[in-house]
Amino acid sequence: MDLFRQYEIFFLYLTGFSVLCFVGSLVLIPWLVVRIPHDYFASGKRRPVAWANRHPALRGLLRFCRNLLGIFFLLVGVLLLFIPGQGVLTMVVGVLMMDFSGKFNLEKKLIHRPAILRSLNWVRKKAGHRPLELDHQDTEGPADG
């Protein structure tokens, strides 16, 4: 009990952060999941980003901010594996937000996981959006189960 008294402020902040992450994941993750185009995985090729034709400096700044936000979601997702929240979905959204070489192949591997695909499509269905579609080659893989 002395340990709790000694670090009472730390535990209060940790509890507050846990509650904030839990509530934030319940609100923000579904919003981000429904923003994924339903046919994003239906093509074997990656779509160009909407801001690809912007000024190079602005494009670089947007890429940096998006990667930073993606890393934040990935780290919070790992933390949410140990505290209440949607850890796996938060990590998937973090990966989807980042921009790095080989990202599309990693996304396709993640989406092939039946539990992840079911979870994402469940969120989309609750929000009244179409389920994520996979191309013919993808649907012959493990996502059928």
pLDDT band at 139 (very low <50, low <70, confident <90, very high): very low
Q: Which long-range contacts (CB under 8 A, 24 or more apart) does 84-89 make?
A: 84/18, 84/22, 85/18, 85/21, 85/22, 85/25, 85/26, 86/25, 86/26, 86/29, 88/115, 88/116, 88/119, 89/25, 89/29, 89/33, 89/116, 89/119, 89/120, 89/123
pLDDT band at 46 (very low <50, low <70, confident <90, very high): low
60 and 91 inside one domain: yes
Q: How many domains does the chain have?
A: 2
- 42 part of a folded domain: no
**What percent of the chain has pLDDT above 70?**
85
Task: Encode pLDDT of 48-75 as tens digits.
Answer: 666 667 778 888 888 899 899 899 888 8
96 and 124 inside one domain: no
The residue among 62 and 43 whose pLDDT is bigger is: 62
Look at residue 1 in the predicted model and tell me its pLDDT: 67
The residue among 104 and 128 whose pLDDT is bigger is: 128
- 4 part of a folded domain: no
As a whole number, mean pLDDT of residues 123-139 equals 79
Domain that holds residue 65: 55-100
Q: Is the pTM of this model over 0.75?
A: no
Look at residue 138 in the predicted model and tell me its pLDDT: 45
- 16 part of a folded domain: no
